[in-house]
Amino acid sequence: MVTALFAAQLVPLTRGSNAPSIDTLPAPARIEATLKRACYDCHSNQTRWPWYSRVAPLSWLIVHEVNAGRRQLNFSDWESYYPATRRRKLEWIGRAVRADKMPPWDYTLIHRGARLSEADKAALEEWIESALAIPAAERSK
């Protein structure tokens, strides 16, 4: 058993890019702070990798979840999305927050600071509604 756990540590993992990105998300400071606190670990290239994310087999699950989150939505790539894609992603964020699907409950068990208060949710909803109200041609600028 101990040998298997030791051998598991030798399995290489691809964590994806963790390069710092230029903040290009057009959001007010409060919204940006909320997104960084609650979303960026899985939905940006600015993931903070805690010590336990380097211990197999837990590391396999964490890396898988982060990579899946980045494929779904990566705030670091916001500017590269087409305007229609940005709109769809904003709509998705709104639905996920309203349904209490994001951030996931298992993530907030360990990362209590990632929990969204009712005020956070209301501010995100207001920001999303205002962003969706802007004509697509202006959002792409």
Domain enclosing residue 66, as ranges:
48-77
The pair of structure tokens assigned to 29 is 């400071």
Q: What's the pLDDT tens digit per position in 56-110?
A: 888 889 999 999 999 999 999 999 999 999 999 999 999 999 999 999 999 999 9
71 and 87 together in one domain: no
Q: What's the pLDDT tens digit per position in 59-68?
A: 889 999 999 9
120 and 72 together in one domain: no
Q: How confident is the model at residue 25 (pLDDT cuts 50, 70, 90)?
A: confident
Q: How far apart are CA 76 and CA 45, in angstroms?
A: 6
68 and 90 together in one domain: no
List the alpha helices (DSSP H) in the chain.
2-8, 29-38, 40-43, 58-72, 83-98, 105-110, 118-133, 136-139
Q: How far apart are CA 128 and CA 141, in angstroms?
A: 17
Look at residues 105, 26, 104, 15 and name the one whose alpha carbon lies nearest to residue 64. 15
136 and 107 together in one domain: yes
Q: What is the pTM of this model?
A: 0.80
125 and 140 together in one domain: yes
Q: How far apart are CA 127 and CA 116, in angstroms?
A: 15
